[in-house]
Chains A and B, each alone.
Chain A
């Protein structure tokens, strides 16, 4: 099964004409500036906006020429920007609203499992008006999950929350897809959210899809704007290696080598790290007389001229892509060019989860 979207909708200020395919697992982030048509696209997928074209999820056709399955017959879980809880119902009744309307045979997700994972147990008897922003959004996510959806649609679920509540919700979002085995489409205009959550990335601008693919491929593509941002960087998924309790350092292993990051206790489970281009410097030999811990052998695959006398260098470290920003003078002096072997010295590795 996979997800295929090819839809059009004429709007007064733009024409949405979006087509992309998404794999049936993980989080596909739809990223673009405000007003690019991201929410409209998500609403068409849910059946909340008319739209024309084709939507196929697995074996099911939701939209085709002359056919539009109504919203209440599409097995989606929709999380709106504002939690939009039913104010006249308790938390438990909100959670049950969709759960009860799904036939027994289609209920895959267990009520207790959801309340446990999202820590809703103590909220069940409360009224929505008495909940904090973070709690409301957790209830909204739980309510959507309890319909046992085949596709989870999330429209900037963090945008209406303050930073503290965003941090409260983030861990739940990261594990949602693996915990419940449901693919998700996640709309956002915040690069950090996308870097942290997305497995696939769909870029959208003025109603058109400009690129789609695995997140790190898109983040490091030179023909796309994200690689040229001030905060440009690569994300790499790692698994925990050895833990050095004497110095409080954790090894994180990936195909191209390993990162060493500070930690107070051994890491469990996969970790995603983000390496910003401006935190990577290049050397032709492996220095041992440096305080930098993270040095990876890599091959240059691409170089581009940037403003302010800088160059952007794309590196392949054992199949993982990295970006480095260096001065043009260094590029010339070191005779950097595609194909050349270098050592990437990484000042900081940001742990994303």
Chain B
């Protein structure tokens, strides 16, 4: 069974994944909307930047985040100068890392969903007197619902499984920044294979259930689109 520290790590992991998913859906919506409709020449550049976490070793991302968010970094230093704690080694720091790390898993399904809707339903809504925001909530959101479900589940599941970024900027503080993937690593390091099995099983079951939801509800989905 899970030890108390493992249970705490599970709760932190779920909190992190939940907060990250909410932030990503809020950030990802305007970003994906813009990407789905723009003809701007910088679109491929933004596409590539968003897809970068798919291919980079997470430690690269974690390393730079540590530099930026740490006490000597641009943002960390700024936080320190106004009397706040630097973000490295805090839960907030983890959230920032996770948001960047899981961004493509939320933006791409949303972008696909928006592109799939096309312009026509919006034009129809406009000729039926719907204002722009009204059009988004009454037409785009309901039509993009499968995309939102996919984005939410993937963002959540991918954050559950992150390791490298968390290791670099989390600092492995029990009760604050220690997540399940790190707990497994710790157990293996100290040769507690039984505990490693228990925690791994939790992650496997959780991730499988989430992915099953996505694929069952949305049969045409592709996880990675480059």
Residues of A within 8 A of B (CB): 46-48, 70-74, 76-78, 80, 82, 84, 86-88, 97-98, 101-102, 143-144, 147
Q: Is the CB of A76 within 8 A of B127?
A: yes
B139 at the binding interface (Cβ < 8 Å): yes
Chain B: number of interface residues, binned into ranges: 10 to 19
Interface SS of chain B: helix
Q: List 14 A-B contacts (CB under 8 A).
A: A71-B127, A72-B125, A72-B128, A72-B129, A72-B131, A77-B127, A84-B124, A86-B125, A101-B129, A101-B134, A143-B128, A144-B127, A147-B127, A147-B128
| Minimum CB distance partner of B141 in chain A | A88
B125 / chain A contacts, CB cutoff of 8 Å: 72, 86, 97
CB distance from A248 to the nearest CB of B (A): 46
Q: Are B128 and A97 in contact (CB under 8 A)?
A: yes
The yes or no answer to B186 lying at the interface (CB within 8 A) is no
Tell me the minimal C-beta distance from B93 to chain A in angstroms: 40
16 other contacts beyond A86-B124, A97-B138, A144-B128, with CB at 8 A cut-off? A46-B127, A48-B123, A48-B126, A72-B126, A72-B127, A72-B132, A78-B127, A84-B124, A86-B121, A88-B143, A98-B127, A101-B128, A102-B129, A143-B128, A147-B127, A147-B129
Residue in A71, A88, A102 whose CB lies within 8 Å of B126: A71
Question: Which residues of B59-102 have CB atoms within 8 Å of chain A's CB atoms?
Answer: none
Listed from nearest, the 7 A-B pairs whose CB atoms lie closest are A98-B128, A78-B127, A101-B129, A71-B126, A88-B142, A72-B126, A84-B124
> Smallest Cβ distance from A310 to chain B, in angstroms?
47
**Chain B window 113-146, contacts with chain A (Cβ cutoff 8 Å), 1 for yes, 0 for no:** 0000000110111111111101100110011000
Report Cα–Cα, A98/B131, bound state, in Å.
11
**Docked CA distance A46–B138 (Å):** 21
Would you call B127 and A86 a contact (CB within 8 A)?
A: no
| Chain B residues close to A by CB (< 8 Å) | 120-121, 123-132, 134-135, 138-139, 142-143
Closest to A143 in B: B128
Query: Who on chain A is nearest to B132 by CB?
Result: A72
Find the B residue at minimum CB distance from A102: B129
Task: Specify which of B127, B131, B142 lies most central, judged by the most chain A CB atoms within 10 Å of its CB.
Answer: B127
In the complex, chain B residues whose CB is within 8 Å of the CB of A102:
129
- Chain B residues within an 8 Å CB radius of A87: 143
Contact partners of A144 in chain B: CB under 8 A: 127-128
Asked if residues A47 and B126 are in contact (CB atoms below 8 Å), the reply is: yes
List B contacts of A143 (CB < 8 A). Answer: 128
- Nearest-CB distance from A41 to chain B (Å)? 15
Q: Which of A73, A86, A143 has the most CB of B within 10 A?
A: A86
- Tell me, in angstroms, the Cα distance from A70 to B128 when the chains sit together: 12
Measured in the bound complex, the distance between the Cα atoms of B125 and A144 in whole Å is 10
Closest to A82 in B: B120
- With a CB–CB cut-off of 8 A, which chain A residues contact B135? 72
Residues of chain B lying within 8 A (CB to CB) of residue A82: 120
Contacts of B121 in A (CB 8 A): 84, 86
Q: How far is the CB of A58 from chain B (nearest CB, A)?
A: 18
Q: Contact between B129 and A84 (Cβ–Cβ < 8 Å)?
A: no
